[in-house]
Amino acid sequence: MEIKGTAVLTIQNFVKHANKGLYNEWVNLLPQASKEIFSNEIYPNQWYDVLYAAVEPSKAIGKMFYNNDEQKAAFESGRYSATQALTGIYKFFVKAASPGFIITRASYVFATYYRPCTMKVLEKADKAVQLRLDSDGPHCEVVQQRIAGWMERGLEISGCANIKIDIPKSIAKGDAFTQFSIKWA
C-alpha cells in the first residue's frame, strides 16, 4: 500500500509543530528507509510506501510522545491532518455542509491518499455513517487509526459533538474489509 506525499507532509509537520525541537531526535528513531523519506524533500504528488512513510513514523511518534502508544500517535496525527486540510479556505465549506456529507465526501478523498484503496458508504443515517475500506495491499491498525482521527476532527470542525468511531471489522485483524462505524450528536 502507498500513501500520497501530501499526507506524509502532515506527519512531518505534526512532529515539527506539535513537538518543537525534537524533529531530528524523532528522525533518528526511524528505520533507514523512513529516515531517507523524512531527511529529504517530501513531494506532495509522489507516492511513498505506507510502511516507511506512515506506519513506522507513527510508531516513533508513539514512542517519543505517547508513551509507546502507536495507535494514539496515529489517531492524533490524523486529527492534525484534518485540521490542516479543513481549516483555512475550506472552513466555510465544512461549516456549511452536513456532517454526513463531509464524511461521505471524505470517503472518496481517502482513496486519493492511499492506494490501492477504496472507501464507500455502507449506510448513512441522520447522525451516523458506516464506511467500508477495501485494500489489496498490507493494511494495519495504525493506518486505520490515522483515518479515524481524521474523521473525528473533521466532524468536530463541522460542529459535531459526542463523536464515537468504532472499527468493528478490520483487515488488520483478518476481516475481508475494514468497517468504520461513526456516530455523532
> What are the residue boundaries of the structural domains of the chain, listed by start?
2-82, 96-183
Classify 96-183 by CATH class. alpha beta
- List, edge to edge, every strand of the sheet that includes 114-115: 47-49, 2-4, 114-115
Which spans in 39-140 are helix H?
Answer: 50, 56-65, 70-86, 91-96, 99-113
- 7, amino acid identity: A
Q: What integer best gives the mean pLDDT of the chain?
A: 91
Query: pTM here?
Result: 0.92
Give the pLDDT mean for 180-185: 96
* pLDDT more than 90, % of the chain: 70
In sequence order, the 6+-apart residues with CB closer than 8 A to the CB of 141 are: 71, 74, 170, 172, 173
